[in-house]
Amino acid sequence: MTPPSGPRGRVLFVGAGPGAADLLTFRAARAIASADVVIWAASLVHPDVLEHARDGAEIVDSAQLPMEGVLPYYERAVAEGLTVARIHSGDPALWGALQEQLDRCKEMGLETEVVPGVSSFSAVAAVVERELTIPEVAQSVVLTRLGGGKTPMPPGEEVRAFARHGTTMALFLSAARSGQLQEELLEGGYPEDTPCVVAYQATWPDELVVRCTLGELEATVKEHRLWKHTLVLVGPALAAGGTRSHLYHPGHFHGHRRAEPSARRRLREARRP
Protein backbone atom coordinates (compact mmCIF):
# COMPACT_ATOMS: atom_id res chain seq x y z
CA MET A 1 0.00 0.00 0.00
CA THR A 2 1.39 3.41 -0.97
CA PRO A 3 1.44 5.84 1.98
CA PRO A 4 -1.05 8.69 1.47
CA SER A 5 0.18 12.15 0.54
CA GLY A 6 -0.52 15.19 2.70
CA PRO A 7 -0.62 15.15 6.53
CA ARG A 8 0.84 12.13 8.27
CA GLY A 9 0.08 11.51 11.88
CA ARG A 10 1.63 9.25 14.43
CA VAL A 11 0.50 6.72 17.01
CA LEU A 12 2.30 6.38 20.34
CA PHE A 13 1.71 3.04 22.05
CA VAL A 14 2.15 3.87 25.71
CA GLY A 15 2.71 1.43 28.56
CA ALA A 16 0.60 2.62 31.49
CA GLY A 17 2.23 0.32 34.01
CA PRO A 18 0.37 -1.88 36.50
CA GLY A 19 -2.08 0.73 37.72
CA ALA A 20 -0.71 3.51 39.92
CA ALA A 21 -0.37 6.66 37.81
CA ASP A 22 2.93 7.58 39.42
CA LEU A 23 4.45 4.39 37.99
CA LEU A 24 4.23 5.84 34.50
CA THR A 25 7.62 6.64 33.02
CA PHE A 26 8.47 10.27 32.25
CA ARG A 27 8.40 9.37 28.55
CA ALA A 28 4.93 7.87 28.89
CA ALA A 29 3.62 10.99 30.63
CA ARG A 30 5.09 13.21 27.90
CA ALA A 31 3.60 11.01 25.19
CA ILE A 32 0.12 11.27 26.67
CA ALA A 33 0.50 15.03 27.13
CA SER A 34 1.48 15.44 23.47
CA ALA A 35 -1.56 13.61 22.07
CA ASP A 36 -4.53 15.06 20.25
CA VAL A 37 -6.43 11.82 20.84
CA VAL A 38 -5.93 9.57 23.88
CA ILE A 39 -7.31 6.04 23.59
CA TRP A 40 -7.46 4.02 26.80
CA ALA A 41 -9.38 1.02 28.13
CA ALA A 42 -11.30 1.82 31.32
CA SER A 43 -11.46 -1.91 32.06
CA LEU A 44 -7.67 -2.21 32.27
CA VAL A 45 -6.07 1.19 32.88
CA HIS A 46 -6.43 3.33 36.00
CA PRO A 47 -8.21 6.64 35.19
CA ASP A 48 -5.55 8.69 37.00
CA VAL A 49 -3.23 8.28 33.99
CA LEU A 50 -5.58 10.61 32.09
CA GLU A 51 -4.42 13.46 34.31
CA HIS A 52 -1.45 13.72 31.95
CA ALA A 53 -3.69 14.42 28.93
CA ARG A 54 -3.73 18.05 27.82
CA ASP A 55 -6.85 20.21 27.95
CA GLY A 56 -8.86 19.75 24.79
CA ALA A 57 -7.53 16.31 23.95
CA GLU A 58 -10.15 13.85 22.72
CA ILE A 59 -10.48 10.98 25.20
CA VAL A 60 -11.73 7.65 23.85
CA ASP A 61 -12.58 4.63 26.01
CA SER A 62 -11.77 1.53 23.97
CA ALA A 63 -13.10 -0.96 26.54
CA GLN A 64 -16.07 -1.83 24.31
CA LEU A 65 -14.34 -1.40 20.96
CA PRO A 66 -12.75 -4.11 18.82
CA MET A 67 -9.64 -3.13 16.87
CA GLU A 68 -11.92 -2.16 13.98
CA GLY A 69 -13.44 0.46 16.29
CA VAL A 70 -10.02 1.95 17.00
CA LEU A 71 -8.71 2.00 13.43
CA PRO A 72 -10.87 4.99 12.37
CA TYR A 73 -8.91 7.13 14.84
CA TYR A 74 -5.69 6.00 13.20
CA GLU A 75 -7.16 6.87 9.81
CA ARG A 76 -8.03 10.34 11.11
CA ALA A 77 -4.47 10.67 12.34
CA VAL A 78 -3.26 10.06 8.78
CA ALA A 79 -5.72 12.48 7.21
CA GLU A 80 -5.37 15.28 9.76
CA GLY A 81 -1.78 14.85 10.97
CA LEU A 82 -2.88 14.00 14.51
CA THR A 83 -0.93 12.40 17.34
CA VAL A 84 -2.74 9.48 18.96
CA ALA A 85 -1.67 8.03 22.30
CA ARG A 86 -2.88 4.45 22.57
CA ILE A 87 -2.53 3.51 26.25
CA HIS A 88 -1.91 -0.14 27.12
CA SER A 89 -1.94 -1.62 30.60
CA GLY A 90 1.40 -2.85 31.91
CA ASP A 91 3.94 -3.10 29.11
CA PRO A 92 2.63 -3.07 25.52
CA ALA A 93 4.96 -5.91 24.52
CA LEU A 94 3.13 -8.40 26.78
CA TRP A 95 -0.36 -9.54 25.76
CA GLY A 96 -1.16 -6.10 24.40
CA ALA A 97 -2.37 -6.99 20.87
CA LEU A 98 0.37 -4.58 19.85
CA GLN A 99 1.79 -6.23 16.74
CA GLU A 100 -1.48 -6.30 14.83
CA GLN A 101 -1.86 -2.56 15.42
CA LEU A 102 1.71 -1.81 14.37
CA ASP A 103 1.08 -3.77 11.19
CA ARG A 104 -2.00 -1.71 10.36
CA CYS A 105 -0.25 1.56 11.16
CA LYS A 106 2.56 0.60 8.80
CA GLU A 107 0.03 -0.10 6.05
CA MET A 108 -1.48 3.36 6.62
CA GLY A 109 1.90 5.09 6.53
CA LEU A 110 1.64 6.22 10.14
CA GLU A 111 4.70 6.96 12.23
CA THR A 112 4.75 4.83 15.39
CA GLU A 113 6.60 4.71 18.67
CA VAL A 114 6.34 2.22 21.53
CA VAL A 115 6.86 3.49 25.07
CA PRO A 116 7.59 0.63 27.49
CA GLY A 117 5.79 0.34 30.80
CA VAL A 118 6.26 -1.37 34.16
CA SER A 119 4.79 -4.86 33.94
CA SER A 120 2.55 -6.16 36.69
CA PHE A 121 4.92 -9.05 37.44
CA SER A 122 7.70 -6.67 38.48
CA ALA A 123 5.19 -4.50 40.35
CA VAL A 124 4.02 -7.51 42.36
CA ALA A 125 7.62 -8.42 43.17
CA ALA A 126 8.10 -4.87 44.46
CA VAL A 127 4.92 -5.02 46.57
CA VAL A 128 6.06 -8.18 48.35
CA GLU A 129 9.70 -6.96 48.39
CA ARG A 130 11.15 -10.04 46.74
CA GLU A 131 13.84 -10.52 44.14
CA LEU A 132 12.78 -13.04 41.51
CA THR A 133 16.32 -14.09 40.57
CA ILE A 134 18.10 -15.32 43.69
CA PRO A 135 21.72 -16.56 43.33
CA GLU A 136 21.94 -20.36 43.43
CA VAL A 137 18.12 -20.61 43.60
CA ALA A 138 16.59 -19.10 40.46
CA GLN A 139 18.25 -17.13 37.67
CA SER A 140 15.38 -17.13 35.17
CA VAL A 141 11.83 -15.80 35.09
CA VAL A 142 9.19 -17.41 32.86
CA LEU A 143 6.32 -15.15 31.81
CA THR A 144 3.37 -17.13 30.47
CA ARG A 145 -0.33 -17.90 30.72
CA LEU A 146 -2.46 -20.98 31.03
CA GLY A 147 -3.42 -22.64 27.75
CA GLY A 148 -6.96 -23.40 26.69
CA GLY A 149 -8.28 -19.85 26.89
CA LYS A 150 -9.37 -17.46 24.15
CA THR A 151 -5.98 -17.51 22.43
CA PRO A 152 -4.45 -20.91 21.61
CA MET A 153 -0.98 -21.65 22.97
CA PRO A 154 1.74 -22.69 20.52
CA PRO A 155 3.01 -26.28 20.89
CA GLY A 156 5.56 -26.67 23.67
CA GLU A 157 4.40 -23.65 25.67
CA GLU A 158 2.21 -25.47 28.17
CA VAL A 159 2.47 -24.43 31.82
CA ARG A 160 3.45 -27.96 32.87
CA ALA A 161 6.34 -27.87 30.37
CA PHE A 162 7.68 -24.57 31.70
CA ALA A 163 7.20 -25.77 35.28
CA ARG A 164 9.80 -28.48 34.72
CA HIS A 165 12.48 -25.79 34.90
CA GLY A 166 11.64 -25.19 38.56
CA THR A 167 12.48 -21.51 38.35
CA THR A 168 10.34 -18.41 39.00
CA MET A 169 7.16 -18.20 36.95
CA ALA A 170 4.71 -15.34 36.47
CA LEU A 171 1.27 -16.57 35.36
CA PHE A 172 -0.93 -14.01 33.66
CA LEU A 173 -4.59 -14.41 32.63
CA SER A 174 -4.95 -17.71 34.46
CA ALA A 175 -6.76 -17.13 37.76
CA ALA A 176 -10.19 -18.01 36.37
CA ARG A 177 -8.97 -21.63 36.01
CA SER A 178 -6.99 -21.89 39.22
CA GLY A 179 -7.62 -25.61 39.57
CA GLN A 180 -6.11 -26.37 36.18
CA LEU A 181 -3.25 -23.97 36.90
CA GLN A 182 -2.40 -25.67 40.19
CA GLU A 183 -2.63 -29.10 38.59
CA GLU A 184 -0.28 -28.23 35.71
CA LEU A 185 2.28 -26.61 38.00
CA LEU A 186 2.31 -29.70 40.22
CA GLU A 187 2.49 -32.03 37.24
CA GLY A 188 5.45 -30.04 35.96
CA GLY A 189 7.41 -30.81 39.10
CA TYR A 190 6.95 -28.01 41.62
CA PRO A 191 6.48 -29.44 45.15
CA GLU A 192 3.24 -28.64 46.94
CA ASP A 193 5.08 -26.41 49.42
CA THR A 194 6.46 -24.15 46.66
CA PRO A 195 5.71 -20.53 47.67
CA CYS A 196 3.20 -18.55 45.63
CA VAL A 197 2.00 -14.95 45.55
CA VAL A 198 -1.50 -14.18 44.28
CA ALA A 199 -1.97 -10.49 43.43
CA TYR A 200 -5.16 -8.75 42.37
CA GLN A 201 -4.99 -5.19 40.95
CA ALA A 202 -1.42 -4.66 42.15
CA THR A 203 -0.71 -0.95 42.92
CA TRP A 204 -4.41 -0.03 42.56
CA PRO A 205 -6.22 1.37 45.63
CA ASP A 206 -8.07 -1.95 46.06
CA GLU A 207 -5.04 -4.21 45.55
CA LEU A 208 -5.06 -7.59 47.27
CA VAL A 209 -1.85 -9.58 47.65
CA VAL A 210 -1.94 -13.00 49.31
CA ARG A 211 0.83 -15.51 49.98
CA CYS A 212 0.20 -19.23 49.94
CA THR A 213 1.81 -22.50 48.91
CA LEU A 214 1.20 -24.17 45.58
CA GLY A 215 -0.89 -26.82 47.30
CA GLU A 216 -3.18 -24.02 48.54
CA LEU A 217 -3.30 -22.04 45.30
CA GLU A 218 -6.73 -23.08 44.01
CA ALA A 219 -8.36 -22.70 47.42
CA THR A 220 -6.76 -19.28 47.95
CA VAL A 221 -7.91 -17.91 44.58
CA LYS A 222 -11.46 -19.21 45.11
CA GLU A 223 -11.62 -18.00 48.71
CA HIS A 224 -11.01 -14.44 47.53
CA ARG A 225 -13.19 -14.88 44.42
CA LEU A 226 -10.47 -13.81 42.04
CA TRP A 227 -10.76 -14.42 38.32
CA LYS A 228 -9.54 -11.35 36.45
CA HIS A 229 -6.81 -8.71 36.92
CA THR A 230 -4.94 -11.34 38.93
CA LEU A 231 -1.31 -12.42 38.59
CA VAL A 232 0.27 -15.49 40.18
CA LEU A 233 3.96 -15.74 40.99
CA VAL A 234 5.36 -19.15 41.85
CA GLY A 235 8.84 -20.48 42.56
CA PRO A 236 11.43 -21.10 45.26
CA ALA A 237 12.88 -17.58 44.98
CA LEU A 238 9.75 -16.18 46.67
CA ALA A 239 10.91 -17.55 50.02
CA ALA A 240 14.67 -17.84 49.50
CA GLY A 241 17.41 -15.90 51.20
CA GLY A 242 20.86 -16.21 52.65
CA THR A 243 22.73 -16.33 49.34
CA ARG A 244 24.95 -13.63 47.94
CA SER A 245 25.52 -12.37 44.42
CA HIS A 246 29.09 -11.96 43.19
CA LEU A 247 28.19 -8.58 41.73
CA TYR A 248 29.05 -6.61 44.87
CA HIS A 249 31.38 -9.15 46.44
CA PRO A 250 34.78 -7.59 47.27
CA GLY A 251 36.42 -10.55 45.56
CA HIS A 252 34.70 -9.84 42.26
CA PHE A 253 36.27 -7.49 39.74
CA HIS A 254 35.04 -5.73 36.62
CA GLY A 255 35.97 -2.79 34.43
CA HIS A 256 35.28 -0.26 37.19
CA ARG A 257 36.58 -2.02 40.27
CA ARG A 258 39.56 -4.11 41.33
CA ALA A 259 39.08 -7.23 43.44
CA GLU A 260 40.41 -7.28 47.00
CA PRO A 261 43.09 -10.06 46.88
CA SER A 262 42.17 -11.99 50.03
CA ALA A 263 38.45 -11.80 49.20
CA ARG A 264 39.25 -12.98 45.68
CA ARG A 265 41.03 -16.03 47.09
CA ARG A 266 38.09 -16.83 49.37
CA LEU A 267 35.70 -16.52 46.46
CA ARG A 268 37.78 -18.93 44.36
CA GLU A 269 37.91 -21.42 47.21
CA ALA A 270 34.16 -21.27 47.63
CA ARG A 271 33.72 -22.11 43.92
CA ARG A 272 35.78 -25.28 44.14
CA PRO A 273 33.79 -28.55 44.22
> pLDDT tens digits, the chain, 273 residues: what are they?
454 455 689 999 999 999 999 999 999 999 999 999 999 999 999 999 999 999 999 999 999 999 999 999 999 999 999 999 999 999 999 999 999 999 999 999 999 999 999 999 999 999 999 999 998 899 999 999 999 877 888 999 999 999 999 999 999 999 999 999 999 999 999 999 999 999 999 999 999 999 999 999 999 999 999 999 999 999 999 998 766 665 666 656 666 667 677 766 776 766 676
124 vs 150: CA distance, rounded Å? 25
Phi, psi of 131 (to 5 degrees): -90, 140
| Burial state string for 171-209 with b = 16 or more CB within 10 A and e = fewer than 16 | bbbbbebbeebbebbbebebeeebbbbbbbbbbeeebee
Q: What is the pLDDT of residue 241?
A: 76
CA proximity to 101, closest of 90, 113, 91, 89: 113
**pLDDT at residue 5 in the model:** 55
Q: How far is CA 34 from CA 56, 58, 99, 167, in A?
A: 11, 12, 23, 41
CA atoms within 13 A on the CB side of 55: 0
